[in-house]
């Protein structure tokens, strides 16, 4: 218990290190009977408000040195050590004299610091930065004709899932909107074991053989002699590697496209990338590729916006997912499959075992087979998102591997990395990793064994019975590997069928809208422009000449360099592949504002009914509105009411919103005088956003440097009247104003 007795500040003998240590002035550990940690579980804080400064949820006292002691009682159970001993005082370590040295006998302090010192575990070597949530997968129809996987056995069957989205290159503390591939890893807790579909938001990969993975990752991570750049591919070592590995060209086109700067995890596709196998009850195999499609449609931000989002809100994607789920706005994805047989595989233009290739949807349609809904945020980020362990080799009966050499290498790698990170062979017992079906084996002991491994035997065969006997092999009910035939010499050799590195890169390029092509060119120019070694730029542009002349020319022009000769190819790019419209984000954009956010900047004196109409209209369209004012306290509206703000303008740049509206009062100068408000409008314009205006906004528009630029722009709309608000809200569902000429 804290002491309230004031003792005069005096130098005790022990403060000099001399003299006899005394504990007389230091209260001894309490003698109240302890409660076990189990009994002292605290109530969930999610959604609860902290007490106001004048309230307290438990008794409190001020200690000898003026320090605050919040005491057990009220809402608070007694604090204990990890071993359950009640802790007397969490503000002061045990001292010899009030100004003396700390004593080794303070086991509570020692334990607290010991645990703190060991809080960190190694972050993932790749995909370190991520965020996740729980969900459920519901199967549309029985797929028992092609797979015996129990998850697909019948229509309507539900299976619990956990998903982790991530970036690849950055460290754990990096920003969310790096230009990067996004991981899309799903754990299905099926009733025949966990199935981990560990995919990305891009359907191809940089390399064909897993032996190159460490090189790829080393090239994109910070350069080892200087420790930067963080979470970026825009540097010499990455482009050096990519330009020397023409197989990566196709993937770099995706990476330079808007796919690599998604607006939200909720608005990106996912892909299993590799060819897998479905195997049915009769043991027959069908090849399968997995696709996730977001029901909110795909959407991305523009690069200049991404750069600014990273400063304004480095947690943009994780906050977006957390906010949507906690608001009950559950994101959904449809799972689809491309299913094909050996005959298709043999006749297809490319090798289905080559992870740098897709099978265009126009060639082989994607069949929707179920839907996943993410409906629960985690209780604890470390316990769940950090400790979740995905492994491609986690497949239930009915799902099997192809011989894709990248997949084969991954199956080897993930088990290893989990041991390194989680530190124990028993990581499968961590709740987020634990299968929801029964687990029975003779694996024993190991660090942090949690299972009460009962019974007399830990081996089989054995002749015991009952609880002492233990499990036995499942035979044909187990995971029966597909008995594919293997022939050939043991050699380190890349199949000749993997040699075409440019045809599908060209197909991807030709499948993009002009706006998307511009973005790809700009991204190559930006990234290669960050390379200091001219030969690296040259080599990359030489490779791009094999993709498309106009792409290479535009990139060379953007870099201000002469167009180099095309690099030599083993297999020249084909020009007979039809464009695949399914590869474009913009060509497939949904007409909707659902799940999107309007930034509503409100000035003092703003028309109260105009503000209300916008809020209601956007809510009806399934979107969200965040109110922004000069001060977070809010703005006084025309009817005298105070509208509380969600954000102050200084912390709410327009890059955080899909569209903006500014409702000023009759005097527009206060907003025009606010530099952040000027940037708000100017950036919204530069980022092609829909802009709504009401009240006196001329001064602000002029201060933002947009005088005369808004006239005739069909995405700059009035929002003052009811009719205007309706037209504005319906325009929000449309695309950004790509035709806006920023150079004018
Ligand atoms: C198609 C190619 C690949 C895809 C789609 C992919 C996807 C992923 C994803 C999504 C994660 C993050 C998992 C999470 O959220 O916890 C991950 C992590 C990882 N991947 Fe891959 N990866 C690919 C290739 C490879 C290869 C070839 C290797 C090694 C041979 C590899 C090794 C790793 C490792 C070591 C981790 C860290 C895992 C952890 O610590 O939890 N990946 N990968």
Number of domains in the chain: 4
In a domain, 706, yes or no: yes
- What is the span of the domain harbouring residue 149? 130-214+248-429
Co-location of 615 and 653 in the same domain = yes
Pocket mutation for ligand 1, best pick of 124, 180, 355 (most atoms within 8 Å of C-beta): 124
For residue 525, what is the domain's CATH number? 1.20.1370.20
Beta pairing partners, 187: 162, 196
Output the known binding site: 124, 164, 213, 410, 414, 421
Co-location of 209 and 344 in the same domain = yes
Co-location of 705 and 726 in the same domain = yes
Of 119, 144, 161, the one marking the end of a domain is: 119
In a domain, 96, yes or no: yes
pLDDT score recorded for residue 56: 65
Q: Which of 217, 233, 204, 326 is nearest to 529 (CA)?
A: 233
Cis? peptide before 229, omega within 30° of 0: yes
Of 389, 407, 429, the one marking the end of a domain is: 429
For ligand 1, the distance from its centroid to the CA atom of residue 507, given in whole angstroms, is 27
CB neighbourhood size of 226 (10 A)? 8
Of 394, 429, 464, the one marking the end of a domain is: 429
The residue count of the chain comes to: 744
In a domain, 481, yes or no: no
Query: What residues does ligand 1 touch, defined as CB less than 6 Å away?
Result: 124-127, 130, 164, 166, 183, 185, 198-200, 205, 210, 213, 273, 355, 388-390, 406, 409-410, 413-414, 417, 421
pLDDT score recorded for residue 45: 39
In a domain, 543, yes or no: yes
Per-residue pLDDT at 388 exceeds 90: yes
> What residues are annotated to the active site?
127, 200
Per-residue pLDDT at 32 exceeds 90: no
In a domain, 224, yes or no: no
Task: Tell me the percentage of the chain whose pLDDT exceeds 90.
Answer: 92
- Local structure of 322: helix, strand or coil: helix
Contact residues for 144 (Cβ-Cβ < 8 A; gap 6+): 152, 153, 280, 281
pLDDT score recorded for residue 38: 32
Mean pLDDT across 191-215:
98
The model's pLDDT over 401-437, given as tens digits with 9 standing for 90+, comes to 999 999 999 999 999 999 999 999 999 999 999 999 9
Co-location of 560 and 620 in the same domain = no
pLDDT score recorded for residue 57: 75
| Cα–Cα distance measured from residue 150 to residue 277, given in angstroms and rounded to the nearest whole number | 15
| Cα–Cα distance measured from residue 458 to residue 696, given in angstroms and rounded to the nearest whole number | 80
Co-location of 267 and 327 in the same domain = yes
In a domain, 146, yes or no: yes
pLDDT score recorded for residue 49: 67
> Token digits for 56?
């307290």
Closest ligand 1 atom to 123 CA = 40
Co-location of 176 and 317 in the same domain = yes
Per-residue pLDDT at 25 exceeds 80: no
pLDDT score recorded for residue 16: 34
Co-location of 88 and 199 in the same domain = no
In a domain, 223, yes or no: no
Contact residues for 323 (Cβ-Cβ < 8 A; gap 6+): none
For residue 643, what is the domain's CATH number? 3.40.50.880
In a domain, 439, yes or no: no
The model's pLDDT over 280-333, given as tens digits with 9 standing for 90+, comes to 999 999 999 999 999 999 999 999 999 999 999 999 999 999 999 999 999 999
For ligand 1, the distance from its centroid to the CA atom of residue 127, given in whole angstroms, is 7
Co-location of 559 and 640 in the same domain = no
Co-location of 282 and 363 in the same domain = yes
Co-location of 512 and 605 in the same domain = no
The model's pLDDT over 35-80, given as tens digits with 9 standing for 90+, comes to 333 333 333 334 556 666 556 678 999 999 999 999 999 889 999 9
pLDDT score recorded for residue 28: 34
For residue 33, what is the domain's CATH number? 4.10.91.20
Co-location of 106 and 141 in the same domain = no
Co-location of 692 and 549 in the same domain = no
How far, in Å, are 327, 599, 603, 626, 734 from residue 659 at the CA level?
A: 20, 6, 18, 11, 11
């Amino acid at each position: 218990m804290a002491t309230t007795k004031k003792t005069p500040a005096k130098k005790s003998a022990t403060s000099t290190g001399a003299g006899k240590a005394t504990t007389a002035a230091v209260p001894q550990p309490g003698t109240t009977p302890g409660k076990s940690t189990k009994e002292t579980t605290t109530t969930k804080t999610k959604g609860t408000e902290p007490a106001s400064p004048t309230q307290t949820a438990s008794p409190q006292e001020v200690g000898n040195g003026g320090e605050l002691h919040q005491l057990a009682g009220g809402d608070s159970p007694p604090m204990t050590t990890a071993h359950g001993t009640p802790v007397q005082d969490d503000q002061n370590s045990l001292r010899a004299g009030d100004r003396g040295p700390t004593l080794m006998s303070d086991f509570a302090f020692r334990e607290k610091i010991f645990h703190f010192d060991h809080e960190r575990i190694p972050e993932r070597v790749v995909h370190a930065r991520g965020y996740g949530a729980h969900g459920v997968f519901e199967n549309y129809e029985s797929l028992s004709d092609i797979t015996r996987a129990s998850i697909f056995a019948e229509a309507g069957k539900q299976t619990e899932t956990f998903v982790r989205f991530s970036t690849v290159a950055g460290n754990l503390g990096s920003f969310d909107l790096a230009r990067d591939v996004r991981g899309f890893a799903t754990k299905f807790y099926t009733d025949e074991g966990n199935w981990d579909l560990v995919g990305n938001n891009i359907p191809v990969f940089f390399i064909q053989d897993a032996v190159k993975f460490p090189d790829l990752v080393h090239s994109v991570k910070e350069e080892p002699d200087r420790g930067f750049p963080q979470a970026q591919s825009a540097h010499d070592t990455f482009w050096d590697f990519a330009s020397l590995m023409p197989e990566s060209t196709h993937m770099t086109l995706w990476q330079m496209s808007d796919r690599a700067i998604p607006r939200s995890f909720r608005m990106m596709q996912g892909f299993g990338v590799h060819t897998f196998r479905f195997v049915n009850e009769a043991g027959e195999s069908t090849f399968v590729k997995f696709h996730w499609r977001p029901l909110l449609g795909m959407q991305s931000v523009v690069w200049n916006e991404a750069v600014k989002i990273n400063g304004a809100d480095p947690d943009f994607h994780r906050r977006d997912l957390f906010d949507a789920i906690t608001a009950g706005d559950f994101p959904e994805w449809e799972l689809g499959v491309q299913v094909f047989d050996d005959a298709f595989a043999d006749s297809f233009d490319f090798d289905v075992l080559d992870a740098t290739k897709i099978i265009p949807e126009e060639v082989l349609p994607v069949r929707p087979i179920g839907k996943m809904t993410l409906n629960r945020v985690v209780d604890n980020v470390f316990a769940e998102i950090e400790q979740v362990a995905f492994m491609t080799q986690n497949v239930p009966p009915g799902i099997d591997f192809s011989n894709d050499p990248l997949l084969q290498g991954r199956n080897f790698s993930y088990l290893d990395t989990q041991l390194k990170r989680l530190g124990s062979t028993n990581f499968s017992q961590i709740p987020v990793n634990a299968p929801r079906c029964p687990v029975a084996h003779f694996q024993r002991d190991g660090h942090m064994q949690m299972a009460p491994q009962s019974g007399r035997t830990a081996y089989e065969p054995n002749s015991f019975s009952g609880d002492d006997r233990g499990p036995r092999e499942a035979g044909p009910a187990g995971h029966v590997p597909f008995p594919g035939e293997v022939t050939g010499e043991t050699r380190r050799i890349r199949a000749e069928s993997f040699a075409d590195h440019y045809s599908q890169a060209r197909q991807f390029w030709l499948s993009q809208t002009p706006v998307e092509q511009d973005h790809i060119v700009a991204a190559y120019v930006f990234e290669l422009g960050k390379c200091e070694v001219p030969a690296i730029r040259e080599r990359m542009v030489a490779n791009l000449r094999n993709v498309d002349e106009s792409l290479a020319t535009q990139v060379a022009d953007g870099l201000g360099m002469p167009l180099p000769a095309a690099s030599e190819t083993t297999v020249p790019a084909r020009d007979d592949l039809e464009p695949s419209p399914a590869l474009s984000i913009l060509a497939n954009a949904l007409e909707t504002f659902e799940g999107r956010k309007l930034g509503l900047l409100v000035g003092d004196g703003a028309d109260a009914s105009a503000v209300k109409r916008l809020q209601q209209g956007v809510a009806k369209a399934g979107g969200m509105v965040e109110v922004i004012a000069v001060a977070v306290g809010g703005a006084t509206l025309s009817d005298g009411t105070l509208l509380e703000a969600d954000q102050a303008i200084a912390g709410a740049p327009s890059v955080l919103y899909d569209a903006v509206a500014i409702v000023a009062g009759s005097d527009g100068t206060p907003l025009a005088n606010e530099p952040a408000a000027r940037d708000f409008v100017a950036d919204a314009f530069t980022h092609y956003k829909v802009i709504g205006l009401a009240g006196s906004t001329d001064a602000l528009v002029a201060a933002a440097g947009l005088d005369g630029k808004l006239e005739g722009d069909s995405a700059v709309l009035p929002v003052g009247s009811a009719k205007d608000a309706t037209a504005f809200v319906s325009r929000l569902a449309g695309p950004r104003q790509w035709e806006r000429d920023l150079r004018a």
